Structure 1
């Protein structure tokens, strides 16, 4: 119930106003958005789908830079923040590392995951005070990927807590994906064939529409 109320409050608060970089685009000011995270970002079809939607709504004004890296976690995120994010001088950045912070072989406590996330936030704010920071919780893993991430929910909650405490926009995909999982693993696997990486259809059906909605952008037309 607490999680539901938090998600509802966050959604209502941000639904009332678009992301700052979207407002700037509406004023015809060029904007750069950096996406920074794991393979769910590096190879995620949602990044290109988001660029396509932005190009449709704001031709030649929006640049999306994919700075994700497969198999990486927030330790890597902190170490590579300068080159992968700050050097791009973005107007907005999306951060997602919870899926791999939860990976057992990396042996990262949730406290360190939180510390790394807050370090990235602090450094971005110090270097680029006007940069809008957006946190994102991705889809839940299943099968062997869940076995390797048995406490994934705890790491996802870190992002929710930090978003609330730092007054950051949160895009939380977990509830929508849980609704798909309730229909059974076969339905989930149609959109996430390997149990962890959504395919283009999964991104177009779940991830990208939620990003567009939560950022205050129009739905993709025609649908992705």
Structure 2
């Protein structure tokens, strides 16, 4: 398993958020329990609304326990929301040994998901994300998680989508802080998730017009 340090700290492709400063923006978040119960959506909504001086709506269509094979069946539902931006993550469940989603299948699913999303009528900006660390028994059942995350990053680069890597922000916390924040080994508490993930999300979504994004 490749070391997390082999990935760029934050990879942000040239995928601008499509709503302009002062205009309303609609974001759909999509993925596993790390998104379904993530808690980072509301801090992101507040910060983006203030920064952009426009209404930001976030619709959370993630579902706990799901992997990318399920995600592939949900693309039409996401596109029906006519989002400006879609944030998607499935690596943590695709990598679970009991899910039986092979690395190649995960890659094919993710490429199909992001390609179909980008072809939607609203032409949303799509960002694939790498999330928080796993540990304990839940970490043991995901021994190749980094390989899945790296593959998803490579797909984002190859098909010219965005990739937001939250792992360096989590790695900046101490071992004790991570153990407290992710007590069950996989699900961060919402308050910490919002604090840790918000700067990277703002850098990706706020654009160069937002002073807050430049000074996080």
Tell me which interval the TM-score lies in, with the shorter structure as reference length: 0.7 to 0.9
Partner of 1:169: 162
The DSSP-based 3-state class of the residue aligned with 1:68 is coil
The structure, 1 or 2, with the larger RCO (C-alpha pairs under 8 Å, 6+ apart) is 2
Q: Distance in 2 between matches of 1:31 and 1:70?
A: 25
CA drift of 1:46 comes to 0.5
Q: Distance in 1 between matches of 2:165 and 2:5?
A: 11
Deviates more, 1:211-220 or 1:155-164: 211-220
Picking from 183, 187, 191, the partner of 2:181 is 191
Q: Distance in 2 between matches of 1:190 and 1:218?
A: 32
CA drift of 1:3 comes to 7.3
Partner of 1:65: 59
| Contact 1:44–1:198 (Cα < 8 Å) also in 2 | yes
Picking from 30, 33, 44, the partner of 2:24 is 30
Q: Distance in 1 between matches of 2:10 and 2:141?
A: 32
Partner of 1:20: 17
CA drift of 1:95 comes to 0.9
Picking from 82, 87, 91, the partner of 1:98 is 91
The answer for unaligned runs of 5 or more in structure 2 is none
TM-score (norm 2): 0.86
Which has a greater percent of helix?
1
Q: 1:8 to 1:200 in 2, by over 3 A?
A: closer
TM-score (norm 1): 0.83
Q: 1:158 to 1:218 in 2, by over 3 A?
A: farther
| Contact 2:49–2:56 (Cα < 8 Å) also in 1 | yes
Q: 1:5 to 1:74 in 2, by over 3 A?
A: closer
Partner of 1:126: 119
Picking from 41, 51, 54, the partner of 2:35 is 41
1:137 and 2:114 are equivalent in the alignment: no
1:201 and 2:191 are equivalent in the alignment: yes
Runs of 4+ displaced beyond 6 Å: none
What CA deviation, in whole Å up to 9, does each residue of 1:155-209 have, x standing for no partner? 10111101111122211011222333xx32x221222222211112322331112
The answer for unaligned runs of 5 or more in structure 1 is none
Count of residues paired in the alignment: 210
Partner of 2:49: 55
Partner of 1:160: 153
Q: Distance in 1 between matches of 2:155 and 2:122?
A: 18
Q: Distance in 1 between matches of 2:95 and 2:7?
A: 22
Q: 1:89 to 1:219 in 2, by over 3 A?
A: same
Q: Distance in 1 between matches of 2:66 and 2:131?
A: 15
Q: 1:122 to 1:129 in 2, by over 3 A?
A: farther
Q: Distance in 1 between matches of 2:87 and 2:9?
A: 20
